[in-house]
Structure 1
Amino acid sequence: MSEPRSDTSCAASWCADDPWCGLTCAVDVLGHKWHPVVVHRLLARGPLGFGELADDVGAITNKVLSETLADLEAAAVVDRTVVDDRPVRVEYSLTDDGEALAPAIEALQDWGEQYLVD
Structure 2
Amino acid sequence: MRFIDNPFQCPVTRTMSIIGGKWKPIILNCIGDKTIRFGKLNQLMPAISNKVLSKELKDLESLGLINRLESDELPQRVEYNLTDAGISLMPVLVEVANWGNSHFAKQIESKL
What is the TM-score of this pair, normalised by structure 2?
Answer: 0.81
Corresponding letter in the other structure for 2:40: E
Task: Decide which structure has greater helix share.
Answer: 2
In structure 1, distance between residues paired with 2:55 and 2:48: 11
Q: Which of 85, 91, 97 in structure 1 is aligned with 2:73?
A: 85
Letter in 2 for 1:25: R
Name the CA distance, whole Å, in 2 between partners of 1:51 and 1:42: 12
- AA matched with 1:50: F
The unaligned stretches of length 5 or more in structure 2 are 1-5
Q: Which has the higher contact order (CA 8 A, sep 6+)?
A: 1
Query: What secondary structure sits across from 1:79 in the alignment?
Result: strand
Aligned residue number for residue 89 of structure 2: 101
After superposition, give the CA deviation of every residue in 1:42-95 in whole Å (9 maximum; x if it has no partner). 115x11111111111221110110111011111100111102232111111110
Q: Which stretches in structure 1 are left out of the alignment for 5+ residues?
A: 1-13
User: After the TM superposition, which of the residue ranges 80-89 and 94-103 deviates more from structure 2?
Assistant: 80-89
Q: Residue 36 of structure 1: CA displacement?
A: 0.2
1:58 corresponds to which residue? 46
Offset at 1:111? 0.8
TM-score normalized with structure 1 length = 0.78
The partner residue of 2:55 within 37, 43, 67 is 67
In the aligned structure 1, how far is the partner of 2:69 from the partner of 2:17? 24
Aligned-CA RMSD value:
1.7
1:43 aligns with 2:16: no
Letter in structure 2 aligned against 1:38? I
Deviation, 1:15, is 4.9
**Residues 25-40 of structure 1: matches in 2 within 5 Å?**
25-40=14-29
